[in-house]
């Protein structure tokens, strides 16, 4: 099983996105492509034919007109279904530059703190109008980037902001709004999220995090749990295990080495955490991933 972190070369660095149409006239593939992941959120629109997308826990069959979203750093893979021609558009986006001051209050909803964006695919399955609108935005974004007419950067920014609006407005299960207490502290939360992401391989000290937030140790502990819905320690452990999941299938290293690389030196603790978040051992997880692409 080959898995890798896919680099996404932006067509316009100032827009922090890439959109491309893929066509495939080959025979149906019996097995999936290589598992991969990237920092950017990915939208897929199937224009013709049938395409299967897999994540560690779900398999999606996409036909003409169907769309789906894959969250940041989410492992995924795909394969062509049937011998008919396949055409689809893939849109990769780093959302951060699109949150201007007027939108910043909503930035917290897309941090994927409690729920991966993949869970929002229920919207496209249940709401035909939203699915059609998102499909149109993806198609028009591709057209704007390919044609590069005057002002296309404005048009693309508007389309992406519309995507964000549709996800936020039609999330009837309120998965995006579960972080309802972050409100005006989004800059503090963003700094803390970045700090944790950049120091996962090291010992993450809550004292250093509290200093970053400009708070006392005791106040920070209560503050973080209120704002994020989990303790700081639980949040860090969740991020460590998420990274370990990717490393298990991207790196040819032992479980011990991977545990150490995500800052967990006690193997019993690593196995306990991994099973808590995945319901299986690291070895079982890798076996599951192998089985899903065969």
Model confidence pLDDT, tens digit, residues 165-206: 999 999 999 988 755 555 556 678 778 888 998 899 998 989
Q: Does one domain contain both 201 and 253?
A: yes
Q: Does one domain contain both 42 and 160?
A: yes
Does the pTM surpass 0.75? The reply is yes
Residue 261's CATH number: 1.10.10.60
Q: DSSP letters along 5-25, please?
A: EPP---SBTTTTEEEEEEEE-
Q: Length of the chain in residues, anyone?
A: 294
Q: Element (H or E) spanning 50, and its range?
A: strand 50-54
Q: Does one domain contain both 260 and 287?
A: yes
Q: How far apart are CA 215 and CA 223, in angstroms?
A: 9
* 110 DSSP assignment: G
Q: What is the pLDDT of residue 52?
A: 96
Domain boundary among 131, 162, 178: 178
Contact criterion met (CB below 8 Å) for 81 and 149:
no
Q: Does one domain contain both 287 and 239?
A: yes
| Residue range 251-266, pLDDT digits in tens | 888 999 999 999 999 9
- Given a cut of 60, is residue 3 above it in pLDDT? no
Q: Does one domain contain both 75 and 195?
A: no
User: How many other C-beta atoms lie within 10 A of the C-beta of residue 276?
Assistant: 12
* 3-class secondary-structure state, position 292: helix
pLDDT mean across residues, the chain: 89
Q: Does one domain contain both 189 and 163?
A: no
Domain boundary among 160, 178, 196: 178
- Helical spans, DSSP H, in 30-148: 121-126, 128-147
* Total tally of structural domains belonging to the chain: 2
Q: How far apart are CA 88 and CA 66, in angstroms?
A: 10
Using CA atoms of 18, 6, 289, 69 in order, give the dihedral in degrees to the nearest 10. -10
Q: Does one domain contain both 156 and 218?
A: no
- For residue 252, the enclosing domain spans 183-292
Q: Does one domain contain both 170 and 193?
A: no
Q: Does one domain contain both 161 and 79?
A: yes
């Amino acid at each position: 099983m080959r898995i890798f972190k896919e680099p996404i070369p932006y067509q316009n660095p100032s827009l922090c996105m890439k959109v491309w149409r893929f066509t495939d006239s080959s025979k149906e593939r019996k097995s999936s492509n290589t598992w991969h992941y990237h920092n950017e959120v990915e939208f897929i629109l199937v224009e013709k034919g049938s395409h299967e997308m897999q994540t560690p826990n779900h398999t999606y069959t996409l036909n003409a007109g169907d769309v789906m979203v894959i969250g940041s750093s989410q492992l995924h893979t795909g394969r062509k279904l049937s011998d008919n021609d396949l055409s689809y558009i893939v849109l990769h986006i780093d959302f951060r530059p699109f949150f201007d001051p007027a939108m910043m209050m909503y930035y917290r909803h897309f941090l994927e703190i409690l729920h991966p964006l993949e869970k929002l695919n229920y919207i496209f399955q249940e709401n035909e109008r939203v699915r059609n609108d998102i499909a149109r935005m993806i198609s028009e974004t591709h057209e704007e980037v390919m044609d590069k007419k005057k002002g296309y950067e404005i048009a693309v920014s508007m389309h992406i902001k519309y995507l964000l609006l549709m996800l936020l407005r039609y999330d009837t299960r309120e998965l995006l709004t579960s972080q309802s207490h972050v409100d005006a502290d989004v800059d503090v939360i963003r700094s803390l999220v970045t700090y944790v992401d950049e120091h996962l391989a090291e010992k993450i000290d809550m004292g250093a995090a509290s200093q970053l937030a400009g708070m006392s140790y005791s106040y920070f502990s209560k503050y973080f749990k209120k704002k994020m819905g989990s303790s700081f320690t639980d949040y860090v452990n969740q991020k460590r295990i998420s990274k370990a999941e990717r490393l298990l299938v991207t790196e040819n290293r032992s479980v011990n080495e991977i545990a150490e690389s995500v800052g967990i030196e006690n193997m019993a603790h690593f196995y306990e955490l991994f099973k808590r978040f995945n319901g299986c051992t690291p070895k079982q997880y890798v076996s599951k991933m192998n089985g899903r692409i065969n």
